[in-house]
Structure 1
């Protein structure tokens, strides 16, 4: 039995095994180990709702920069590796009038209608129907790069789409799929679905896994028979450069995680010292800082804040929460080393709106270099109504590190943070 025109089953299994065993592959560094990957799904869905609402209310604007769509696509691009460059297709290029969804009102409405239908779709056939309807509109420049959004709405229905994935697909399966065509994307998707179902034991229901493999082949990082000559033609120096870039990225990610863990540890230490019970994000309980397991500083179960399962799950992913002896939420902290500031704001907002008296103090903890970005996000017009009733303060890493010991010694309650926390005036 063959896979594609020339690819044997045993060969594909060997390729996938190599992909899964490579500690620096997309499979390991993004799909398995990136704790912020799952958070991105919530952020992007919430952002899409804002895009739809702004278009329907005619407040969307006529440029990508500063728009709610930029927030969504930036959250996608921040997933790195597979999604690097995801924003390029959406930049407004006025001379070419592409993508023509900023100045043409009918195209803008059609795009919103497409996003809304896909957001609420319960099965893949409904989304395919919407893709075909959108394709019939012939909107200049609005091609299958939108599939990167579809992936985050329906990861078990649709794979992402970019140059490297298409290149990897064509190389592995000896196809000639073209960029920029929804028809080509659907053709590629059909083959991916077929292979994913046949080799489910090697892949996942989530099409991010198989797409990651195609991406690795497409950029020449994973060498197979079909791309070996091309990799050699591109010379060893380029391949070494690529390997070094990925290795540096992995090391940078490790450093970011270490700083993230450090801030969670310090927040937990301070909270406990001044008399609060502490919750550490559910998916961080096994992480360590200086030999201390973060979960050992945390209560084992987070008191229920919301009757909605999805919202309660989001709240359980907040990096650190302080509670008093009566299980009232006193302080909530999102540590944003490199991930989307917007996603942290959304999680804090979910908590604040779930608490009956809404009295929990909300904080973003971030590196000094992100201070301008934090202020820009907190000053977004779309966030102002919520922030007026539930303000969010921010604290820089440097300030928190340098003052943590003093706050542990002299602090009595959450008000000790007033000396280091900053707030934007809306």
Structure 2
């Protein structure tokens, strides 16, 4: 990104830029970074942040990141921050610290509304958003807190920031500053309730992680099987970066849909179909798969309808709802709803996880088309 800025290739928009790629990579790490891109989005009415219309400010921003990426001490880091603060670039404030934190997690804490609220609640401070001076003052306080409770925290300031985020976002209540016994009792009751809710949330999160793991695993099975049968494979655009066995799910698959699909009606829906198999020539879809682990089948069926109406299906294409063995009755019941009346026009088949797992190796080894999948799946309409 620094190189693009220095050579004038960065552009004048956040969307589609290298900065967007970086901020999204940061934001997906932890919940506390969700919404990190808001500070970098162009606000046309306010004309901020002023790093898109003003080339000098853009270059200063690039120099800051270049400087920080080469720093080895906290003093060097603070020098870079004070340099850009002197320029008073409109709309470019301490949200940049979220990027600097990933370069120097022991020197620069992340910064957002919830973290600031948590810090103020714990310390009684009045740190304000949007001010580098307030950020640097908070940083000093955080370093002192981190040193005091190092046995409970980490050298990485993200641990302390995560605690402050939980307090500032209301997940855990801050203790009453006056130390009143009655207030303290009320706080301890609220804390106990918050802890119980946290345990409940963690159990739900663990269940969701298992659901995501299974969904991704099935997509990987279908990806590998499709490639073994000689098809080109498309993985849903929003799932391509998911990891399976240490590798990106979309690795070795199509980076873009064929032009006819990408530019046709319903393209935004089609690009979210879990797995597509495409013939080598012509660019027609040979099979489409929607993995329905535990959710309703509505969105998956709608995407298949969009694909069918696009005209880009091969004449012998297969459409498969892939789900746990136990869900077939539920899926058949859902398809009886009036909203799915159009589904009778399609030859949609039910492919149980168990059948796919048992036979995918043999199909990959001995198969050459969709007949193996047709044999182990069940027609739904």
Same-fold call, TM > 0.5?
yes
**Per residue, is there more helix in 1 or in 2?**
1
**Is 1:372 matched with 2:324?**
no
Task: Tell me the distance in 1 between the aligned counterparts of 2:176 and 2:10.
Answer: 46
Matched residue, 1:288 = none
Matched residue, 1:318 = none
Contact kept, 8 Å, 1:407 with 1:416, in 2: the verdict is no
The structural deviation recorded for 1:271 is 11
* Correspondence for 1:407 among 351, 360, 379: 360
* Correspondence for 2:129 among 179, 200, 221: 179
What's the C-alpha RMSD, in Å, of the aligned pairs?
Answer: 4.8
Task: Tell me the distance in 2 between the aligned counterparts of 1:164 and 1:258.
Answer: 29
Task: Tell me the distance in 1 between the aligned counterparts of 2:144 and 2:366.
Answer: 58
* Correspondence for 1:158 among 108, 128, 131: 108
Taking structure 2 as the reference length, the TM-score comes to 0.57
Count matched residues.
274
Contact kept, 8 Å, 1:348 with 1:362, in 2: the verdict is no
Matched residue, 2:54 = 104
DSSP-derived class of the 2:170 partner: coil
When residues 66 and 176 of structure 1 are mapped into structure 2, their CA distance, relative to the original with a 3 A threshold, is same
Task: Tell me the distance in 2 between the aligned counterparts of 1:107 and 1:157.
Answer: 25
Cα-to-partner distance string for 1:221-260 (whole Å, 9 max, x where unaligned): 212333799x9xxxxxx99x99999788646633442134
The structural deviation recorded for 1:169 is 0.9
Matched residue, 1:385 = none
Gaps of 5+ in 1: 1-50, 232-237, 277-332, 350-359, 376-393, 421-426
Larger mean CA deviation between 206-215 and 243-252 belongs to 243-252
Matched residue, 2:117 = 167
Task: Tell me the distance in 2 between the aligned counterparts of 1:185 and 1:397.
Answer: 46
The structural deviation recorded for 1:66 is 2.2
Matched residue, 1:258 = 210
* Correspondence for 2:77 among 111, 119, 127: 127
Gaps of 5+ in 2: 184-189, 256-267, 275-287, 293-319, 324-350, 374-381
Task: Tell me the distance in 2 between the aligned counterparts of 1:245 and 1:204.
Answer: 25
Taking structure 1 as the reference length, the TM-score comes to 0.52
When residues 163 and 268 of structure 1 are mapped into structure 2, their CA distance, relative to the original with a 3 A threshold, is closer
Matched residue, 2:92 = 142
Contact kept, 8 Å, 2:238 with 2:272, in 1: the verdict is no
Matched residue, 1:199 = 149
When residues 251 and 92 of structure 1 are mapped into structure 2, their CA distance, relative to the original with a 3 A threshold, is farther
Task: Tell me the distance in 2 between the aligned counterparts of 1:121 and 1:156.
Answer: 12
Cα-to-partner distance string for 1:146-197 (whole Å, 9 max, x where unaligned): 1111112221221111111111111211212111111111111111112212
Task: Tell me the distance in 1 between the aligned counterparts of 2:77 and 2:9.
Answer: 26
Cα-to-partner distance string for 1:329-359 (whole Å, 9 max, x where unaligned): xxxx9x99978x55869x869xxxxxxxxxx
Contact kept, 8 Å, 1:71 with 1:342, in 2: the verdict is no
Q: Which has the higher contact order (CA 8 A, sep 6+)?
A: 1
The structural deviation recorded for 1:143 is 0.2
DSSP-derived class of the 1:66 partner: coil
When residues 250 and 78 of structure 1 are mapped into structure 2, their CA distance, relative to the original with a 3 A threshold, is farther
Task: Tell me the distance in 2 between the aligned counterparts of 1:411 and 1:151.
Answer: 46
DSSP-derived class of the 1:87 partner: helix
Matched residue, 2:6 = 56
Matched residue, 2:161 = 211
Contact kept, 8 Å, 2:236 with 2:271, in 1: the verdict is no
When residues 243 and 337 of structure 1 are mapped into structure 2, their CA distance, relative to the original with a 3 A threshold, is farther
DSSP-derived class of the 1:411 partner: helix
Contact kept, 8 Å, 2:11 with 2:17, in 1: the verdict is yes
Task: Tell me the distance in 2 between the aligned counterparts of 1:336 and 1:254.
Answer: 23
Larger radius of gyration: 2
- Residues 301-380 of structure 1 aligned to structure 2 (within 5 Å): 341=240, 361=252, 372=271
Cα-to-partner distance string for 1:374-412 (whole Å, 9 max, x where unaligned): 99xxxxxxxxxxxxxxxxxx9864667645544222212
The structural deviation recorded for 1:266 is 5.5
When residues 147 and 245 of structure 1 are mapped into structure 2, their CA distance, relative to the original with a 3 A threshold, is farther
**Is 1:89 matched with 2:55?**
no
